[in-house]
Amino acid sequence: MTDAAELRRRTRELLTAHPPATTDRLDFLRARFDAGLAWVHYPEGLGGLGAPRSLQAVVDAELAAEGAPDNDPRRIGIGLGMAAPTILQYGTDEQKRRLLRPLWTGEEVWCQLFSEPGAGSDLAALGTRAVRDDGGDWIVNGQKVWTSSAHLARWAILIARTDPDVPKHRGITYFVCDMTDPGVEVRPLRQITGEAEFNEVFLTDVRIPDSRRLGDVGDGWRVAQTTLNNERVAIGGTPIPREGGMIGKIAATWRERPELRTHDLHQRLLGLWVEAEVARLTGVRLRQQLVAGQPGPEGAGMKLNFARLNQEISGLEVELLGEEGLLYDDWTMRRPELVDFTGRDAGYRYLRSKGNSIEGGTSEVLLNIVAERVLGLPAEPRTDKDVAWKDLAR
């Protein structure tokens, strides 16, 4: 088994052959992937060496010390955090070889075509249809919504209904969709902040070869659980330093602006600081558990806490700043490449945090997941569980 010493040796070889100071950024990232130092726990030939996941930190530290470029993980987070684990688990050998390398290097951006106007919290009720033609290809028609990075993406992970005659969870199939194909139309969704980091995507007679299907026909819901579990961990379990994220912003204001302080605000800030630190340490523990296998439903709890804390902290920040907190710097329409939960001013952070309890699974749905899959409580009664999708009221 590859150990830390072997990884350090391989990393030094990479740095010697491709000095970061004189090597083109993309060439260096490609060489790193080919050396198995991208995801060390992935199989050989797919960016890894089959090493323990915990040893990734050894490689990252060696490369950071030499000023090596990273792959801008925030920009390609959907590909790294959601598409890649799903492709690794369910993709064919050909799909893995074609898709994983440019995904990791950032040459090809990914987006997620899951939610629909009539299927958000109840995602399994989705109505986008994929019908197989005589040649074996799939013809897809429908509408998706709340799609981050669709205006930048080359590829999308897509779930569509392939059998309306069975209950909703069983008639779904998972595809990889080329966002440059005819019939794919991306429209911006302007948010409360004025930005349009999200999109709605219209699919009109989009032809997807069967070779771009992930998993078996009709097994898309099970495949999608891999994506969704990884998404929740990516949102709620992202590593941050102490006083990183939203709590760091308000803590800095508290220290720099003593004239704003009151005893009541101090007590509330202390409480939120402690909760943020508990959430950070819980995230560390969750990432340690991930080293041993796939993420479980614990990610739902982390994502729940992330949303609640962000909203409470941003609300307190606006209250602390008083009249200043009501100001908002700019309503100009923007199409940002990155989702920035903590950027700009307090007014932006307050408005942007309102979406945290919706994106990546609504808080209400995640509460059910925690109750049923973590705590083992009885499931809610579901009258539509055995009803064919075509017979459901819509």
State the catalytic residues.
231
Residue 287 corresponds to which tokens in the numbers above? 């990432």
Q: Is 336 helix (H, G, I), strand (E, B) or coil?
A: coil
Q: What CA–CA distance (Å, rounded) separates 307 from 231?
A: 14
Please name which of 276, 263, 261 lies closest in space to residue 312, comparing C-alpha atoms.
Answer: 276
Cβ-Cβ contacts under 8 Å for 166 (sequence gap 6 or more): 218, 388, 389
Q: What CA–CA distance (Å, rounded) separates 217 from 53?
A: 31
Q: Is 184 helix (H, G, I), strand (E, B) or coil?
A: strand
Q: Where are the alpha helices (DSSP H) in the chain?
A: 4-17, 25-34, 56-65, 77-78, 84-90, 93-105, 220-236, 245-256, 263-290, 298-321, 346-353, 363-369
Residue 6 forms beta bridges with which residues? Answer: none
CA of 11: how far to CAs of 6, 49, 366, in Å?
9, 12, 40
Cβ-Cβ contacts under 8 Å for 74 (sequence gap 6 or more): 338, 339
Phi, psi of 130 (to 5 degrees): -125, 120
As a dihedral over the C-alpha atoms of residue 329, residue 335, residue 338, residue 339, rounded to 10 degrees, the angle is 60
Residue 161 forms beta bridges with which residues? Answer: 129, 172
- With b for 16 or more beta-carbon neighbours within 10 A and e for fewer, the 142-157 pattern comes to bbbbbbbbbbbbebbb
Cβ(143)–Cβ(202) under 8 Å?
yes
Cβ(361)–Cβ(319) under 8 Å?
no
Positive or negative, the CA dihedral 28, 29, 34, 37 is positive
